[in-house]
Amino acid sequence: MGSAPVSDPVYVPDTVQTAVKILVVGHFAVGKTTFVGTLSEIRPLRTEETMTQAGELVDDLAGVPGKTTTTVAMDFGRITLSESLVLYLFGAPGQKRFTGLLNDMLHGALGALVLADTRRLDHSFDIMGLLEEHGVPYAVAVNQFEGAPAFPEADIREALDLLPETPLVVCDAREAASSAGALISLVEYLQTRTPWEQG
């Protein structure tokens, strides 16, 4: 089987020597699919399905009017940082029934970006607890939703019980520059903890 043309943006260049796996996690309907799609340089892989009436019994739709689809496996995207380094973004479904899948996705992950919503900060505890249980370092990005209340950083840190060194930023998952800033905060944090090629 022949190799893909170097100019084909779907394929990773032959010069890439290091691939880093980053998870984008958070509770149901917090913007993970949007975040991955905003940043991915390739057409993102999405596994969204239409929500059914049966799902209404287990998926809390409070605060997310108009949501009609949900991720049932994962989102996947890619960002090339240099000729030798790429980031693979894996967006995980947020419902508790997918915890087994998330446990599998955590293997080999260098770190995770936890998306949070100020209207439902308490919904972030389960995923942060799971990351801590598996020893996966993370940063928190508060995704800005229209009409959601804004709080001082210190109040959010206290509400989420974050360690002083855990990065906390605000982002808009629909905007590339804002999302990139959130991801950069995670990557910079990981570089202080884990020796990996910076390209």
Given a cut of 50, whether residue 3 has pLDDT beyond it is no
| Homologous superfamily, domain 18-193 | P-loop containing nucleotide triphosphate hydrolases (3.40.50.300)
- The pLDDT value recorded for residue 199 is 43
Question: Which of the four pLDDT bands, split at 50, 70 and 90, describes residue 1?
Answer: very low
Query: What predicted TM-score, i.e. pTM, was given to this entire model?
Result: 0.80
pLDDT in tens, 140-163: 999 999 999 999 999 999 999 999
Summarize the confidence of residues 13-17 as an average pLDDT. 83
Summarize the confidence of residues 159-183 as an average pLDDT. 97
Least confident of 32-41, 71-80, 95-104, 186-195: 95-104
Question: Which of the four pLDDT bands, split at 50, 70 and 90, describes residue 4?
Answer: very low
pLDDT in tens, 46-103: 555 454 555 554 555 555 555 455 554 579 999 998 888 899 999 998 667 657 678 8
DSSP for the chain reads: -PPPPTT-TTSPPTT--EEEEEEEEESTTSSHHHHHHHH-SSPPB--EEE--TGGGGTS--TT-TT--EEESS-EEEEEE-SSSEEEEEEEPP-SGGGHHHHHHHTTT-SEEEEEE-GGGGGGGHHHHHHHHHHT--EEEEEE--TT-----HHHHHHHHT--TTS-EEEE-TT-HHHHHHHHHHHHHHHHHHS-----
Given a cut of 80, whether residue 134 has pLDDT beyond it is yes
- The pLDDT value recorded for residue 152 is 96
Summarize the confidence of residues 14-31 as an average pLDDT. 91
Domain ranges of the chain: 18-193
pLDDT in tens, 93-133: 866 765 767 888 899 999 999 999 999 999 999 999 999 99
